[in-house]
Amino acid sequence: MPPPPEEVIAGQAVYNRPMLAGYDVLVLGFHCRLVWRCAKRDMLDNYRRNIGARHVEFGPGTAYFLDRCGFPTATPELTLVDLNPTVLRVSAARVARYHPTVVRADVLQPLPFDDGRLRTGHYDSVGANFLLHCLPGSWAEKGVVFDNAVAALRPGGRIFGSTILSSGVPVSVPARRLMKVYNARGIFHNTDDDLAGLRWQLDQRFTDIQLTVRGCVALFEASKPGPTEEPAG
């Protein structure tokens, strides 16, 4: 696997222990409700609708939603994937009761499905919540995340998540200003992220696509096609 580009390394480095300690209050509380205009309960509902017994989480953050959503079984098979080792330690500790598997990897690269920790075509669900707007590149480059999800999911398995968009959705003045700051600092990379581009990425790979806009946040959910199905696009 090639090393991650400098933009990826710089973007994930901000998620250190002090930042993660305040993440739930600052980002999921204050920013989501007052700036991005998407309540965290909407994201939690997305988890509850779609999460399966065998789940992979791309970019688990603090595992806030994994901790609260409730799995369809008391003993889920949970795998956490992130490039940042601090994120993996913090999130794994929060959901330690599920004995998660931890995979340190860059989701913008093909994932290591042959190393014994990730299985191809095995999982019921893949989560990618508040991840895509942090990743550098165009929609075509960010599409590798969806390719990895397709590789991980069983036929009929669900992908779901959310992302902050800069166009094609209502963006308030405070949201626009904060996005500008975060993009300048390399925390966000969503200057060209639009709703139509997200829809196109999903259409190329999935069926049963649902897109819900809350403020400047798009919540998405979709299914991997079965053997006799074709993607929506």
Tens-digit pLDDT profile for residues 168-220:
999 999 999 999 999 999 899 999 999 999 999 999 999 999 999 999 999 99
For residues 151 and 120, is the Cβ–Cβ distance under 8 A? yes
CA distance 203 to 201: 6
**C-alpha 157, offset from chain centre:** 16
Q: What is the pTM of this model?
A: 0.94
With a pLDDT cut of 90, the percent of the chain lying above it is 87
pLDDT at residue 11 is higher than 80: no
CA distance 127 to 80: 10
